[in-house]
Structure 1
Amino acid sequence: MQKHVTEKTVIALAIASLFSSVTHAQEAAAVSTDPAAAATVVVTGTRVANRTALDTAAPVDIISADTLKNVGSTEMNQALSMALPSLNFPRPAITDGTDTIRPATLRGMAPDQTLVLVNSKRRHASSLVNVNGSIGRGSAAVDMNTIPTAIVKSVEVLRDGAAAQYGSDAISGVVNLRLRTDRSGGEASVTYGARKTEYELWNDVAPAGASWTAPNSRERTDGQTATVSLWKGLALGQDGYLTIAAEYRDQHRTERSGYDMRQQYPRLANGAFDPRELTINRFNAWYGDPEMEQATLFANAGTNLGGGVKLYGWASYQNREARSGGFFRPPQDARNIPSIYPNGFLPVIAPTVDDYSATGGVTWTLGSWDMDASLGYGRNKMQYEIQNTLNRSIGPSSKTEFYAGGYAYDQLVFNLTGVRSLDVAGLASPLNIAVGTEARREGYELFAGEPDSYRYGGQVLPNGTPAAPGAQVFPGFRPANEVDAHGNAIGAFVDMEANLTPQLLVSSAVRAERYSDFGNSVAGKLSARYDFSRAVALRGAVQNGFRAPSPQQQNFTATSTNFINGVPFEITTFKPSDPVAVALGARPLEAEKSVNASLGAVLRFDPFNITIDAYRIDIEDRIILSENLTQANVRNYIASQGFIGVGGGRFFINGVDTTTKGVDVVVSWPMKMGAAGSVDFTVAGNFTETKVTRVPVTAQLAALNPAPVLFDRLNVLSLEKGQPANKISANANWKLGQWGATMRATRYGKVLSPGTTPALDFWMGARTVVDVEGRYAVTPKLTLALGADNLFDQYPETQPPALNTTGNTPFANYAPFGRSGRFIYARANYGF
């Protein structure tokens, strides 16, 4: 109880400091989580050359390649979430495609409100839009796991709004992955690990008269993961470089289901239970991390043509094949056909993702201007095969595997930027001026599956109702759902930065953009920094920003047929422009609008640094996916508008307003301990609170009695309480001669898994996850490491039977550190 009060007090003081006097503002700031990065030059958030992490007007974290390497996970998102308290990477399961492409969040915001850059150029998003009940529902975000850690030199995370500098999506911040530029050297790495874990069970009682009982706990060894990666630097001409990286990853699934207490088979003629009830496997779900195999290639190159002209470029390709489960269909389930699956079946969703990109550019000098022009293209395609399933409406002749179609997103971006410094009388430094333009074309394609994956085959159930059409767990996309849409945007910006006095640094930026599909947007930013001394500096910013609606949100559509009282109805995720959605009150999507304010201070007591950064982010008209609108009065209203046979659906709409307040705290202390070696010690924490202040309504639905709710309490509480209220990490990196070690403790604050009613709300208490790794340099080139992520095998609380009626989901999808338990691994690195 005392800890809870203390955390609330810290949050309250931080928020108060954001809007109080300048004296109090001296207690707020931000800086890198890497103690060695204080003098590292950054390029994110500033266009001034040679600006270091501690000298910027906005907080920038720098994550080194070694930090990314010295963890058990080889996923970029997971490695970043372990390094940054402000970044979260929940790991939902039984969420269709989201099991395969899991989104990350910054400062508790939506996944698509963080802009991802590679070498300061916009990275393309994934084609997947999250439509199931998990963090990030309704968003389509960049999949950073398409970028292998081996190609990354460092990651810069700007924890500040930056729409005026970089354009759409940069509401909560910017993640910039900077690639290696090595002309020589390289490293090969082999990592192998597995989950060695035990978790408790909390299951419902068996049916009356049943003799099967559930165990109290369960031991598992699974999730075996092997990763082989290589990077190599090659000389390109006299002073050019070609750095290539390759990675292969093979991940077995983890399975954390509960014990299914339900009756599985029909009773015998004498009323007794079928003897197979005692032999069937009741751990019948794939609830955990998916089975996954992926191969990635990445190359980064640059060369000097002479005369101040340089060429650069990079290209990537990844193929990912995954398999994850849906909900188990028991043998006696009406959706089963016993002649095909006498013991029931677990349908499997098997996506294949192909992701590739290529960017090329040139820099040159034009008078006093440093010019940069680039053209980049990226495409992400995701297509589905549904395995171990059936189309119940076809009957015993149904196939058991179906091609269900999929979707693709592509992006073409042209950038032209000029930067120069100008001596201006009265200023204490040259005025740095950056001007530029960006033209972007985005496309979204949705393609249909084979007919048997979605069609109704005419079969009727024993009770006389028609059988459900389409492949069980994931009906295929239909020809009527197919989409091939494109949009474009063009923008221009001006960015200026200078010291008005030796102590006062001021920067400003203005950006205007025009979109073909929703209109215009203008964003501005003003930030400043005042150095009272080398030890104490204040900095702050105020800005407005925007996030344009994505093509995925504007064009995704899917249809399934539901029979209501024997009558077929089409349940659809409608495009906002669809006539049915318009009849329900949908409008063309507009940009989300934000206002960000922050105050901070940098306190340097070499080598000891303490920083705090307080922020407030107000967002209007957030784009959300509505509730499923299938009530009888909605169906009747749709029919009255002339749309016969439509059973309701959902659609994307603007209309949610939120306020997010928080504080980031970082303490870093590199220590020299003589004969005991050296330790880089960091303590960092993020405290965030989000409130929903408005939800969308439409006049059409408000006129119905009772009026359906477009965005109900479950989704409201997901935004407010679905991510940790606080996340605190302590990290120590020790080195002594050939020995090295990393120890990390991360405390995740409490999280709510919301229900449709207060009685179904489920709180998960705070948990501390400890990661350790020891390293030994056998030779100057060969290093061996042994470690454990989640050493003490922490799990979130087990859901009660009322929330886990099937036994398939003992842990909530909102668990911030997943629910796969301890991961033990070994790694060998060989440099050359």
Structure 2
Amino acid sequence: MIRNTRSVLTLAVSALALSAGGALAQSAPDPQATEVEEIVVTGTRVANRSRLDTLAPVDVVTAETLENRGTTELAAALAQTVPSLTFPRPSVTDGTDSIRPATLRGLQPDQTLVLVNGTRRHASALVNVNGSVGRGAASVDLNAIPTGALDRIEVLRDGASAQYGSDAIAGVVNLRLKEARSGGGLNVTYGQYFTEVETARGSRDEEDGQTLTVSGWQGFGLGADGFLTLSAEYLQRDPTGRSDFDPRPAAGGAVTARLGDPEVEQITVFANAGAALNAAWDVYGWAGYQERDSESAAFPRLSDNVNNVAAIYPDGFLPLIAINSQDASLAGGLRGQIGGWEADFSLVYGRNALEYRTENSLNSTYGADSPTSFDSGETIYDQLVFGADFVRGFEVGLSGPLTLAWGLEARRETYEIKAGQPESYNRGPLGGNTALAGGAQGFVGFQPSNEVDEDRDAVGVYAEAELPLTDKLTVQGAVRVEDYSDFGDSQTGKLSARYDFSPAFAIRGSISTGFRAPSLQQSFYTATSSVIQNGQVVETGTFPATSSVARILGAEPLEAERSTNYSLGTVIRLGDFDLTIDAYRIEIEDQIALSENITRTFSPQVAALLDPLGIQAARFFINGVETETEGVDIVGRYRLNTDTLGEFDFTVAANFNDVTVTEVPTTTSVLNPAPTLFNRQRILTFEEGTPDTKVAGSVDWDYGRWGASARATYYASVTQPGTTAANDYFTGDKTVIDLSGSYQITDRVGVTLGVDNVFDEYPDFTPANLNSNGVLGFPFYSPFGFNGRYAYARLSLSW
């Protein structure tokens, strides 16, 4: 880790000074020598502002960039492109294997707001409750939107709660859908892994993870100037296995586990439309639906396992956790003018339903009569958002118009948990045997006592102003007030400024406060299982902070997380070269975390509290974690056009990031002292679970019908922590090389061949002494995964 990030910030400030000196010494760039910059709408309400003219850093990722990646997962493609975004691939972590969260600037996944066409996207119904990066978060599933439906993605790397509301602590990801009246395209991509797996106990060759993706879109005209753009994607992926050899005698030296990507089959459809109603008003809307079936593995049960039933599985079994995810969204809106104001009214609905099944399993307390396939329950989250936004420019006699914006957002959210079939959670006829675990092996089903059906309302109003005070100085300010029916209100503000010393050089900075409301998933998630204690059936598991179990242990209703963000940056433009350097500091208070288990054996006091309730152990979500994050983002780009060798586009992007946990909760309102509520594994996951340094360099070449890309990405070592320092293991410092080449056979037909991770780079394997069952062959905290070399071919059609 960066042990003294203040030195990094000092270097960044020095770089700003050097850049200023160099840029001011240059003549202004020739306007004819630069390309038209990408226009952005995220972080500003001023029209026609480019990414290099913004008051805060914004990355623009085009659809073409996404389609040139080997992976067809949106989150993975973004992580390869945006230096401050990380997408780990957790495995053997239950539902998180299938709904994997991404992080921005090393913060929690739910501290980044995701928008679609500028409106709030709904979160997943999944809560990450196991030992992965993002534990405790309920975040947006980026992979629920296909890359083929997108025109571009804007990533605002700055706190923006005052502009957009809850969750925008680390920044904002705005997914902008295609708007096409005509034309279309089809991509067919096939790839798989060809790799040598070198684990602590030996090596083997694998050819797996076969993936087929078919993605297409078509534009249609609506009226004189309207559009309807339809897109669809089908994906089928076989699982991968990167576990080590199992050393236990009953395993016979085989690989018995399946650490890796889950098996996935999904289909996604999207529609985006807009048309003029009259000269003053437009109507627009979009709709999307995805159904994903995924299947990941739990820990293996060998033939001699006490919870195996030899009559069913004489050789043992590997439980599989299957999730059917149904994700739907529907939006409509009107855009026009009211009294000189540009008005935009929108209504957006989103829903995610996760149905859990436990396959290839059994409930050992039913013996030979146990089912082997279980309905394990369902979680559902939905939200309905109404937005009204108004923008107007006023001529005030300065260097440009005063842009005023104001509006409101009203939101209703619901969250449900539905129980599974009784055999998925019950203790059967053999349940009196304390050696046997009740419920489906691998994933215990939700019980009737876990069922919830909760909702809440939230209303927010904001005002924003942006004003060029001179032809060089622009300032922006925003304030927002939100009120939630469950925890109260929150007020946030932001002040930004930019000074252009010349067309070649500018500095920018901002200070803002932010917040993240506790999600309904965090407030009400419940999952318990039954165990035998002194001959009695008692429960253990996760309880809502407002439940009688949690309250008796001193839990309190969750409150909002709060942050203060500072940033300072520079923008340099010299002809076909541009460079941005942005330093930042993010202070977060009252972060929400999932506590460790509080067991009755901790003290007589805890036993006296839990025993009357029939509870052996309980955990719940709590406020109280405080962090400081400091870092620097650097993005440089140079475009070179030659007469004989074609066009080159060089990019170097880097993120240096340091997260420090400064405070953790140590007591509850009842327990003082309390057992450890936030242990070293959770602290180190915050501090060292994502790379403190990530540097990516790429070159894209285009010459007539030929094209090629080369990319190298360096990842600093990440720690996957254990209960003690002796149990930690590390990914190591790694560099991953990706290569691809393309040829345009005709104006409409092209082919691409590529290899990601050309040199078959892996994170350091898990030491044998820390992997007694062989399951965790590699640390799944790895920011680039742990699957090895991936080769692919793509056929592209356009019309």
Q: Normalising to structure 2: TM-score of the pair?
A: 0.96
- The answer as to 2:384 corresponding to 1:412 is yes
- Residue identity in the other structure for 1:170: A
Deviations 1:611-648 (Å, cap 9, x if unpaired)? 21000000000000011222503585253466332011
- The answer as to 2:94 corresponding to 1:96 is yes
Out of 519, 522, 543, the residue aligned to residue 553 of structure 1 is 522
Cα distance between partner residues in 2 of 1:27 and 1:12: 23
* 1:347-496 correspondence to structure 2 within 5 Å: 347-425=319-397, 427-459=398-430, 465=434, 467-496=436-465
* 1:469/1:54 CA distance change after superposition, 3 Å: same
- The answer as to 2:79 corresponding to 1:110 is no
Cα distance between partner residues in 2 of 1:325 and 1:36: 51
Q: Residue 264 of structure 2 corresponds to which residue in structure 1?
A: 292
* 1:265-664 correspondence to structure 2 within 5 Å: 282-425=254-397, 427-459=398-430, 465=434, 467-564=436-533, 566-630=535-599, 632-633=601-602, 637-640=606-609, 643-664=612-633
What is the deviation of 1:104?
0.3
- Residue identity in the other structure for 1:807: G
Cα distance between partner residues in 1 of 2:200 and 2:610: 49
CA contact (8 A) 2:600 2:611 kept: no
Residue aligned with 2:38, SS = coil
Q: Residue 790 of structure 2 corresponds to which residue in structure 1?
A: 823
Residue aligned with 1:400, SS = coil
Out of 222, 231, 249, the residue aligned to residue 236 of structure 1 is 222
CA contact (8 A) 1:459 1:466 kept: no
Residue aligned with 2:683, SS = helix
Residue aligned with 1:727, SS = strand
How many residue pairs are counted as aligned between the two chains?
790
What is the deviation of 1:286?
1.5
CA contact (8 A) 1:457 1:469 kept: yes
Q: Residue 148 of structure 1 corresponds to which residue in structure 2?
A: 146
Q: Residue 814 of structure 1 corresponds to which residue in structure 2?
A: 781
CA contact (8 A) 1:28 1:614 kept: no
Q: Residue 211 of structure 2 corresponds to which residue in structure 1?
A: 225
- The answer as to 2:248 corresponding to 1:248 is no
Deviations 1:243-286 (Å, cap 9, x if unpaired)? 0000000000001111111011xxxxxxxxxxxx65xx721111
Deviations 1:504-543 (Å, cap 9, x if unpaired)? 0000000000000100000100000000001110000000
* 1:417/1:537 CA distance change after superposition, 3 Å: same
Q: Normalising to structure 1: TM-score of the pair?
A: 0.92
- Residue identity in the other structure for 1:468: A
What is the deviation of 1:20?
9.3
CA contact (8 A) 2:199 2:778 kept: no
What is the deviation of 1:14?
3.6
Cα distance between partner residues in 2 of 1:567 and 1:255: 40
Deviations 1:557-579 (Å, cap 9, x if unpaired)? 01111234654331020100011
Q: Residue 132 of structure 1 corresponds to which residue in structure 2?
A: 130
Deviates more, 1:564-573 or 1:577-586: 564-573
Q: Residue 675 of structure 1 corresponds to which residue in structure 2?
A: 644
* 1:258/1:656 CA distance change after superposition, 3 Å: same
* 1:700/1:158 CA distance change after superposition, 3 Å: closer
- Residue identity in the other structure for 2:405: A
Cα distance between partner residues in 2 of 1:688 and 1:300: 37
List gaps (5 residues or longer) in structure 2.
Answer: 24-32
* 1:73-92 correspondence to structure 2 within 5 Å: 73-92=71-90
Deviations 1:382-433 (Å, cap 9, x if unpaired)? 01111010011111111111100010000100000110001124x2211000
Q: Residue 695 of structure 2 corresponds to which residue in structure 1?
A: 728
* 1:185-204 correspondence to structure 2 within 5 Å: 185-203=183-201
Cα distance between partner residues in 1 of 2:503 and 2:150: 32
Cα distance between partner residues in 2 of 1:230 and 1:775: 19
Cα distance between partner residues in 2 of 1:699 and 1:92: 31
Cα distance between partner residues in 2 of 1:23 and 1:739: 41
CA contact (8 A) 2:434 2:532 kept: yes
What is the deviation of 1:754?
0.8
What is the deviation of 1:787?
0.3
* 1:779/1:455 CA distance change after superposition, 3 Å: same
Aligned-residue sequence identity (percent) comes to 50
What is the deviation of 1:699?
4.2
What is the deviation of 1:701?
6.3
CA contact (8 A) 1:570 1:646 kept: yes
Residue aligned with 1:718, SS = helix
What is the deviation of 1:52?
0.9
Q: Considering only aligned residues, what root-mean-square deviation do their CA atoms show, in Å? A: 2.0
Cα distance between partner residues in 2 of 1:579 and 1:678: 66
Cα distance between partner residues in 2 of 1:184 and 1:83: 29
CA contact (8 A) 1:54 1:602 kept: yes
* 1:756-767 correspondence to structure 2 within 5 Å: 756-767=723-734
Cα distance between partner residues in 2 of 1:398 and 1:758: 41
Out of 9, 13, 29, the residue aligned to residue 15 of structure 1 is 9
What is the deviation of 1:763?
2.4
What is the deviation of 1:465?
2.8
Deviations 1:734-768 (Å, cap 9, x if unpaired)? 00000001111110111111111111121221100
List gaps (5 residues or longer) in structure 1.
Answer: 30-34, 204-215, 265-276
* 1:37/1:479 CA distance change after superposition, 3 Å: farther
What is the deviation of 1:673?
2.5
Deviations 1:563-610 (Å, cap 9, x if unpaired)? 346543310201000111112121110000000000001011111112
Cα distance between partner residues in 1 of 2:192 and 2:733: 25
Cα distance between partner residues in 1 of 2:232 and 2:43: 30
- The answer as to 2:769 corresponding to 1:769 is no
- Residue identity in the other structure for 2:10: A
CA contact (8 A) 1:317 1:356 kept: yes
CA contact (8 A) 2:323 2:356 kept: yes
- Residue identity in the other structure for 2:552: A
Cα distance between partner residues in 1 of 2:610 and 2:269: 53
Residue aligned with 2:246, SS = coil
* 1:699-718 correspondence to structure 2 within 5 Å: 699=668, 702-704=671-673, 707-718=674-685
* 1:630/1:801 CA distance change after superposition, 3 Å: farther
What is the deviation of 1:16?
2.9
Q: Residue 788 of structure 1 corresponds to which residue in structure 2?
A: 755
Residue aligned with 1:816, SS = coil
Out of 177, 182, 185, the residue aligned to residue 184 of structure 1 is 182
* 1:551/1:634 CA distance change after superposition, 3 Å: farther
CA contact (8 A) 1:634 1:648 kept: no
Residue aligned with 1:112, SS = helix
CA contact (8 A) 1:18 1:615 kept: no
Cα distance between partner residues in 2 of 1:78 and 1:176: 16
- Residue identity in the other structure for 2:728: D
Residue aligned with 2:76, SS = helix
CA contact (8 A) 2:555 2:669 kept: no
